[in-house]
Structure 1
Amino acid sequence: MAQLAIRKLMRGNGLIQTIMHTSAANIMVMALTTLISIMTARMFGVVGKGEFTAIQFYATFLAGVVGFGLPTSLIYNMKRSKGMGAEFIKAGFLFQIPVSIVVGIIAWTFMPVWLGNYPEDVIQTARWYTVLMLPMLLAVNLIAALAQSTDHFNVYNGVRLFVPLFNLAGIAVLFAAGVLSIHAAAAVFLITTLLVVVWSLYRLRNELKIDWFRRVVDRTAAKLMFGYGSRVFGVELLGTLYSQFDKIIILSLLSARDLGLYSVVYALSRVFNTVQMAISNVIFPKLAGLDKDKIIATVGRAFRLSLMLMTIVVIPCMFIGRFLMGLLFGKEFLEASTAFYLLSIECILGGGSWILAASFNALGRPGLVLLRQIIALAITVGLFFLFTPMFGLNGIALALLAGALVRMLITIAAMRVSFRVSIRGMLFDKGDFRFLIGRLKEKNIIKSRGKAGGVDG
């Protein structure tokens, strides 16, 4: 009976079902990412782990810097302007070609400066990895947005799941063959990402049946794409800087050993916002185009329930995580356990603030999120330079925690001013429990004595 109820809940394409699917995918991605981190840490040691992280860093960082808001704009415009989907897709994909070439040349030229403290062979591998991976990451971001906007969340989750799954398989092959080389591991990551890009393009082939060469780009579509993209780009750029500046600080001020330690505890702490990230990824494309009251009510409930549930989970799991960190990665990684505690709390607060930010993006007002990001980033970067020389990795974690708290407070205040939402109502609503129980009864997860109540999500 319980199995039938769970199957019923997991089927369908509604908001709750999609969030559950994406949450399950997030958990699997986190598990795979953790396994990859364990294997690479065991294969390469702390210093080698730091060098491997440095090789991977700039491709991910630059993909976030030069996205120009196009993935988010694709979702927004596909939902708002029916019948122009092909032109939006064409504008997004064709624009990324010259961007990849120009940024690739810049990365190749300046990589010796960016990784000046690293060995020459690491710098050379980072050059090739960045130039080849960057266009694939830009393509993956647009493919994921296309899948979200067309409700192909199976493809969206597949892209996110298959990359770490294939990476893990490739690393396992290297480990079994005794090839303990960060350069071979980087090549594996390139090949597996290419395979996933090809698979996802095939799965979305019906949406990509476009006359790519009839005319370059429709002007109206381009105006809409880049118009909204320019408005969210600032938010996303600051989000990228916020999420990656800690690694830049470590690359600049600390050692490869510090980066190796930090990459492990940071990845382990991200386990705690799998559900919140699923909500953030699903709720924007699902709510874009709806009326304001519906958006605010849905976002508020998602924020409160996720924050409550994850806070209950995070406290005991932090201590379990420290035990597992020593057991799986090795005792030498335990010296970063304090940073792990701080990053775990930051993860929950940061995930909650991004759920709230979805209301501004869905209502076409990303400028308020941009202001929030500017303030939080300025405070966090300032604290990086203050705390890192004093406390090392713990200083970086403490600065991130302060920034997450600032983002949360600013977002709640902005919702109060812009949408006339009660602050107390945003933080607590006893109707959430009735809603949750009603949904569980409706899906027969718990027994109902009579008709189940609740609001459709």
Structure 2
Amino acid sequence: MAQLAIRKILNGNGLVQTIMRTSATNFMVMVITTLTSIMTARMFGVAGKGEFSAILFWSTFLVGVVGFGLPTSLIYNMKRHAGKGAEYIRAGFLFQLPVSIIVGVISWMYLPVWLGNYSAEVIQTARWYTVLTLPLLLAVNLIAALAQSSDNFKIYNGVRLFVPLFNLAGILVLFMTGVLDIHAASFVYLITTLLVVIWSLYQLRGELKIDWLKRMVDRAAAKSLFGYGSRVFGVELLGTLYSQFDKIIILSLLTPRDFGLYSVVYALSRVFNTVQMAISNVIFPKLTGLDKDKIIATVGRAFRLSLILMTIVVVPSIFVGRFLMGILFGKEFLEASTAFYLLSIECILGGGSWILAASFNALGRPGLVLIRQVIALAITIGLFFVFTPLYGLNGIALSLLIGALVRMLITIAAMRVAFKVRFAGMLFDKDDFRFLIGRLREKKIIKRAGRAGGMDE
């Protein structure tokens, strides 16, 4: 009985169970990523860590720029229009092939300009890594969306977990063999992504058994896929610029050493976004297609509870984080501790605003999120150019924090106007605690099952 009760809770397909499993995956990804960051920081030093991060940066950034909203559109359309999944999948994957080639050529030509402060060896490695990784990362995004749309969160979480896990394994092999080389480490990351793409395609082979060589495209399906994609693309593009423009500023205005410091404290601050990212990733595909009141109520409760939980966690953790940063990464990284404090708070505010944004996407109104992103991005970029020359890395972190606060306030205001949601109601609802207590009481099922199992023995 105990095993059955636990299995029911952990293996259920409901919203809460899926969020719990995805949160656990996020936590494992965070731990693995942190361990990898520690290894690379120790192996390459501060400046070498900055060069390695610069090599990895451009493919991730460019994939966000040329995604055209197709992963999100794939989820939305497969949920809303059952029976046309094959056409959506075919159109999405085939469209990304020429995109990866075009962007790859552009990257090869302009990376020497984009990485003007770096050595010729670093630039050449960045060229090869970016060109070869672009199609793989575009495929990963569509594979993850396909898994989400079919409620196959096992594959979705597997894709997200195996990439950093294999990266860590590869870095450990390099360390044990004494190969302290950023170029070899870049090759490891490339092979890791390729292996995960092959594994995930095999796991989803049932959904991918379609007529890939079919000449005619279903115009209705393509119109629906690219129509919604074009509407959400603006939001996602601005989201990419918002989350990556800080790195572009560092690459342009500061040194590889600064990039090395920032990459460590930024990754460490994302620890506080574990639960909120899980909610954002799960809540959109789970709620799309439901009625408006249900969507607003669920998103609001998830936002409030996550914000309270992470605020309680972040206050003591940022001080412990600074202590651990000196021990694990090295004392030289402590000079970026103030940036770490600011980024930790920004992480929670930003994560909360993305949870709220799920309500607009689920109701087919991503344009409101686009307006929010435009305003917040304009303010943040403007602050970058004011604060970075004055305060360096701390100026970048402060700009992001102010931008995250603006984003949250604009989102709540948009919900007030569009959905008639009370401002105070979005920030506090006493029923949230009753809901949380009810969920905690459900845990007693495990205790009762455990006692019953003991009696059976």
Contact 1:174 1:180 in 2 (8 A): yes
Deviations 1:247-268 (A, max 9, x none): 0000000000000000000000
Residue number in structure 2 paired with 1:236: 236
Contact 1:310 1:348 in 2 (8 A): yes
RMSD over equivalenced CA pairs, Å: 1.3
Query: What are the residue-to-residue correspondences of 1:8-27 with 2, within 5 Å?
Result: 8-27=8-27
Matched, 1:384 2:384: yes
Residue number in structure 1 paired with 2:454: none
Q: Mark the runs of 5 or more structure 2 residues left unpaired by the alignment.
A: 449-457
* Distance in 1 of aligned mates of 2:445 and 2:335: 43
Q: What is the one-letter code of the residue matched to 1:18?
A: T
Contact 1:5 1:443 in 2 (8 A): no
SS at match of 2:444: coil
Q: What's the TM-score once normalised by structure 2's chain length? A: 0.96
Deviations 1:214-234 (A, max 9, x none): 225211111000000000000
* Distance in 2 of aligned mates of 1:213 and 1:245: 39
Residue number in structure 2 paired with 1:46: 46
Aligned-pair identity in percent equals: 82
Q: What is the one-letter code of the residue matched to 1:47?
A: A
Contact 2:6 2:446 in 1 (8 A): no
Query: What are the residue-to-residue correspondences of 1:250-399 with 2, within 5 Å?
Result: 250-399=250-399
C-alpha displacement of 1:2: 8.7
* Distance in 1 of aligned mates of 2:48 and 2:445: 47
Deviations 1:306-355 (A, max 9, x none): 00000000000001100110000000000000000000000000000000
CA separation of 1:397 and 1:5: change in aligned 2, threshold 3 A = farther
Residue number in structure 2 paired with 1:455: none
Matched, 1:116 2:108: no
Q: What is the one-letter code of the residue matched to 1:346?
A: E
SS at match of 1:111: helix
* Distance in 2 of aligned mates of 1:402 and 1:2: 48
* Distance in 1 of aligned mates of 2:213 and 2:444: 52
Contact 2:50 2:263 in 1 (8 A): yes
C-alpha displacement of 1:36: 0.6
CA separation of 1:423 and 1:87: change in aligned 2, threshold 3 A = same
SS at match of 2:117: coil
Residue number in structure 1 paired with 2:134: 134
Residue number in structure 1 paired with 2:55: 55
C-alpha displacement of 1:184: 0.1
Q: What is the one-letter code of the residue matched to 1:223?
A: K
C-alpha displacement of 1:9: 2.3
* Distance in 1 of aligned mates of 2:202 and 2:371: 39
- Aligned pair count reads 448
SS at match of 2:323: helix
Contact 2:144 2:159 in 1 (8 A): yes
Segments ≥4 residues shifted beyond 3 Å = 1-8, 445-448
* Distance in 2 of aligned mates of 1:185 and 1:130: 14
Deviations 1:98-139 (A, max 9, x none): 000000000000010000110000000000000000000000
* Distance in 1 of aligned mates of 2:348 and 2:445: 26
* Distance in 2 of aligned mates of 1:407 and 1:398: 14
C-alpha displacement of 1:436: 1.1
* Distance in 1 of aligned mates of 2:4 and 2:437: 18
Contact 1:5 1:444 in 2 (8 A): no
Residue number in structure 1 paired with 2:421: 421
* Distance in 2 of aligned mates of 1:225 and 1:446: 44
C-alpha displacement of 1:7: 4.3
CA separation of 1:296 and 1:157: change in aligned 2, threshold 3 A = same
Contact 1:231 1:366 in 2 (8 A): yes
C-alpha displacement of 1:5: 5.8
